[in-house]
Amino acid sequence: MKKRLFIMVEGEDDIRFFGRIIKPLFISRYDSVEIIPYASIRRTKVNNFLKSVRLMKNDYIFVADIDTEQSVRDKKQILFYHFSNIESGSIIVVIKEIESWYYAGLSWESVVNLGVPDLPVTDELTKENFNRLIPRKFDSRIDFMFEILKYFSMDSARMKNHSFRFFVDRYHLADPIHERSQT
């Protein structure tokens, strides 16, 4: 019997990324896949939601940027402090921020097409650095993000970002039937 998957993300940029790139990879495994932005919800409600998901025997993935924490372990400790019902095995820490996963998905051909630098590793890419890389031809950072999603390559992202590779490997999303390189 299939069940439901809830992907808990921080904000709008995460919703776009997980909705376009990640959700389709889980659709065949679950009755439904829902993306929920938790940063705008009171902690007590998030905590109660996590408890109810577990009681209903559904799955969740709780995604958080590492931000200024020194390690994944430190970030998890912060999350345990804020959410007593969170389970360690359901936490995915994005290093550094979701923008690093977006940019990691740019293959050589796509950086040429977009006119942006090819970064061999995006683990240290912050929101501010990402914003500096946006070509002037884009009206907004959201337009640029949507364009990246059109070109997104799982292979490139796995090579260029360690936390993305960890996520893909952990959930077996790079199996041949799940490959979705669009370059």
Please state the domain extents for the chain: 1-94, 97-160
pLDDT at 2: 75
Q: Closest Cα partner for 8 from 46, 55, 51, 54?
A: 46
Task: Name the CATH topology of 1-94.
Answer: Rossmann fold (3.40.50)
- If DSSP states are collapsed to H, E and C, what string results for the chain? CCCEEEEEECCHHHHHHHHHHHHHHHHHHCCEEEEEECCCCCHHHHHHHHHHHHHCCCEEEEEEECCCCCCHHHHHHHHHHHCCCCCHHHEEEECCCHHHHHHHCCCHHHHHHHCCCCCCCCCCCCHHHHHHCCCCCCCCHHHHHHHHHHHCCHHHHHHHCHHHHHHHHHCCCCCHHHCCCCC
pLDDT at 144: 98
pLDDT at 140: 96
pLDDT at 1: 58
pLDDT at 174: 84
pLDDT at 181: 40
pLDDT at 180: 42
Q: Tell me the C-alpha distance between 66 and 57, whole Å.
A: 28
pLDDT at 176: 52
Mean pLDDT, consecutive 10-residue segments, the chain of 183 residues?
A: 91 98 97 97 98 97 96 98 97 97 98 97 97 96 97 97 98 66 38
